[in-house]
Structure 1
Amino acid sequence: MNAVYTDKIETALKSFMADHPGAQTRDQAIIAILESWFTSHGYLPPQQEGRRPEELDASNDD
């Protein structure tokens, strides 16, 4: 990889981290970016939010 390309990626990574406070480390940011890309391109299933097992009862059966 050439230096100009590397500099652009590093700049973008720093911007991403500034916009996403949950990504506190470089590794966390890279993982978040890869998970997003893999999910949006069909390589990972979308994360689904649901109820925790202790919250389930007959009243919320579908």
Structure 2
Amino acid sequence: MLEAQYRGKEALRPVHDALVKYAASLGKDMEISTKKDQCRASPVQELRRDRSGDQNAD
């Protein structure tokens, strides 16, 4: 997936890799989620809330 995202924009891939490395260094509660056209790094709790559709859950 990442290869397709950065096809023609190979110079940006090191930026992505550095951001993913930094996000991972923030702790085990961070989750890196790669999608077809994006990559998201969020606290695991926030991702669970987004998936459930309940924006007010703790």
TM bracket, shorter-chain basis: 0.3 to 0.5
Higher strand share: 2
* TM-score, scaled to structure 1: 0.41
- Larger RCO (alpha carbons 8 Å, 6+ apart): 2
The structure richer in helix per residue is 1
Give the alignment's TM-score, normalised by structure 2: 0.42
